[in-house]
Amino acid sequence: MPLPRPFLCGLVLACLLAVNARAAAPNILLVIADDQSWPHAGAYGDRTVQTPAFDRIAREGVLFTHGFCPAAQCSPSRAALLTGRNIWQLEEAGQMSSTFPPKFTTYTDVLRARGYHVGYTGKPWAPGDWKAGGRTTDPVGDEYNAKTLTPPSKFISNLDYAENFRAFLARRPAGAPFHFWFGSNEPHRDYDLDSGVRSGKRTSDVKVPAYFPDDDVVRRDILDYKFEIDWFDRQLGRIMDVLRETGELENTLIIVTSDNGMPFDRAKASLYEGGTRIPLAIRWGARIPAGRVVDDLVSLIDVAPTVLTATGLDLLPGTTGRSLLPLLTSTRTTEPDRDFVLLGKERHNYARPDNLGYPTRAIRTRTHLYIRNFKPDRWPIGDPPYYWCHTKMTNPTKDFVLRDPTAPKLAYFYDLIYAKRPAEELYDLTTDGDCIHNLATNARHATVRQELSAKLDRLLLEQKDPRVLGEGDIFESYPYFQKLPEQGFPGFFEYGKYNPKYMRPQPRP
């Protein structure tokens, strides 16, 4: 029996509407540098880097001046970005080089389930082992790393990110929107020594942070880091060319940022500005006004709710971050309720017996940074002489400071970077952007310290952080999935296994 004509017309109309809705769904391009600090991009005024692609995103979209990563480390920061939660809400996924429990749904999981073509090139959620936690798919999608090229120096990745993106698009189902994760391996160490100088960069142009000695060795090291930022930006530019060639540029929400700050001690793996303040620019064609600079404090935990809101999907359960869409579409540059971000850290690399971490939390406002160090009896970078990461990476700045840390010229910087820290730190960022002068015991700043300390406690309790619930030892038990040290510490637990010594959280006295 033939179907009634009105029913057929309605069915056809519904199908057309569904196809049109699917075609109108925005694509997502998430671009993550590996270890790039703010303000190392041309759009922020840095003239020692060449970043025309990032600068274009900022010019044609929105540039954020106060973007922060929730943890100044690779895998915890990326897990927070993917879930919209802070690291203390993510169990193993909030720990460096551990695993990713499948109960924590990522926004990419949701997009894939809704018909998005999802994939990545370069560095995904890493380091760690997501399979060990029970996940059946990579947190950032299918891998596209087959295309290679000849890099300009020996430590730059040979991945051809743009051609891998092109291969990803070639496998996209007809009409499907996409989410592509471009995880650059740059500017992570190692560096080809003096590659920056050889490229034409001048040491006299480098602004050395106040926590490093102003020496030619350090200046050259910073230029090598910036040489790799230039390379990362060129690959971003090539990917944007592919978007333009395929006609997808204007319907693609492009988010460009970094997982954490520059790979120098007292920057990466610390909660100071050099480790947590990162570049961030977002472009979405005509959907958002171009050429705006936003000074609100925002975090990578805001990425997941932003993408889901932009695609018309519900937020993930337990989301702590907030969508940036109101900021992106507004003509204002400030929002009164965005006046702080939370930061945290647990373990970074094995640098102590039993692979113990350096647990710390912080609240960063417009004017101050308050840090709580939960284990001030531990050395922040690692127990002497295990300041060194397990890898054989070259690090001229570290070599320079540690070659004779008692020398008058270097003792000051040794103390800043490697010495033990007090339980509380407070910095006035209006006068001390490099976080040099700890004001936590200064009577004139007692009110600010007390207010920020109380606010941090309240927020961590609301988010059920084990560190303030007397259950912080659970972080010490989580497995570690990176190469073990050639000469381990006494009591070092087995690779990839939970540490039974810390499996039962002990209440704080």
Predicted confidence (pLDDT) at residue 335 exceeds the cutoff of 80: no
DSSP assigned state of 494: P
Predicted confidence (pLDDT) at residue 505 exceeds the cutoff of 90: no
| Judgement on whether residues 395 and 316 belong to the same structural domain of the protein | no
Q: In this predicted model, what pLDDT tens digit does every residue of 86-136 receive, in sequence order?
A: 999 999 999 999 999 999 999 999 999 999 999 999 999 999 999 999 999
- Would you call 377 exposed, middle or buried from its count of C-beta atoms within 10 A (0-12, 13-18, 19+)? exposed
Q: What is the pLDDT of residue 353?
A: 83
Q: What's the CATH code of the domain at 307? A: 3.40.720.10
Last residue of a domain, which of 304, 338, 372?
338
Q: What is the pLDDT of residue 105?
A: 98
Say if 306 falls within a structural domain.
Answer: yes
| Judgement on whether residues 271 and 154 belong to the same structural domain of the protein | yes
Question: How many distinct structural domains can be found in the chain?
Answer: 2
42-51, 316-325, 334-343: which range is least confident on average? 334-343
Pick the most confident of 215-224, 379-388, 400-409.
Answer: 215-224
- Would you call 407 exposed, middle or buried from its count of C-beta atoms within 10 A (0-12, 13-18, 19+)? exposed
10 confidence band (pLDDT: 50, 70, 90): very low
Say if 208 falls within a structural domain.
Answer: no
Q: Provide the residue range defining the domain that includes 48.
A: 42-188+228-338
Q: Where are the alpha helices (DSSP H) in 118-212?
A: 161-170, 195-198
| Judgement on whether residues 418 and 325 belong to the same structural domain of the protein | no
Q: Where are the alpha helices (DSSP H) in 138-297?
A: 161-170, 195-198, 216-245, 273-276
* Residue 413 · residue 212 · CB < 8 Å: yes
Say if 76 falls within a structural domain.
Answer: yes
pTM of the full structure:
0.93
| Judgement on whether residues 451 and 311 belong to the same structural domain of the protein | no
DSSP 157-184: --B-HHHHHHHHHHTSPTT--EEEEEE-
Q: What is the pLDDT of residue 332?
A: 65
| Judgement on whether residues 323 and 351 belong to the same structural domain of the protein | no
Say if 380 falls within a structural domain.
Answer: yes
CA distances from 108 to 120, 229, 256 (A): 11, 26, 17
Query: Angle 133-139-141 (CA atoms, 0-180°, nearest 5)?
Result: 135
Last residue of a domain, which of 282, 317, 338?
338
**Phi, psi for 281 (deg, rounded to 5):** -140, 145
Q: What is the pLDDT of residue 495?
A: 86
What is the maximum alpha-carbon separation in the chain?
Answer: 96
Say if 210 falls within a structural domain.
Answer: no
CA distance linking residue 104 with residue 100, whole number of Å: 8
| Judgement on whether residues 304 and 354 belong to the same structural domain of the protein | no
Q: In this predicted model, what pLDDT tens digit does every residue of 199-222 receive, in sequence order?
A: 999 999 999 999 999 999 999 999
Residue % of the chain over a pLDDT of 70: 90
Three-state DSSP at 369 gives strand
| Judgement on whether residues 380 and 248 belong to the same structural domain of the protein | no
| Judgement on whether residues 171 and 48 belong to the same structural domain of the protein | yes
Q: What is the pLDDT of residue 68?
A: 98
Last residue of a domain, which of 315, 338, 361?
338
Say if 165 falls within a structural domain.
Answer: yes
Q: What is the pLDDT of residue 355?
A: 87
Q: Look over the chain and give the mean of its residue pLDDT values, rounded to a whole number.
A: 91
Secondary element (H or E) of residue 343: strand 340-345
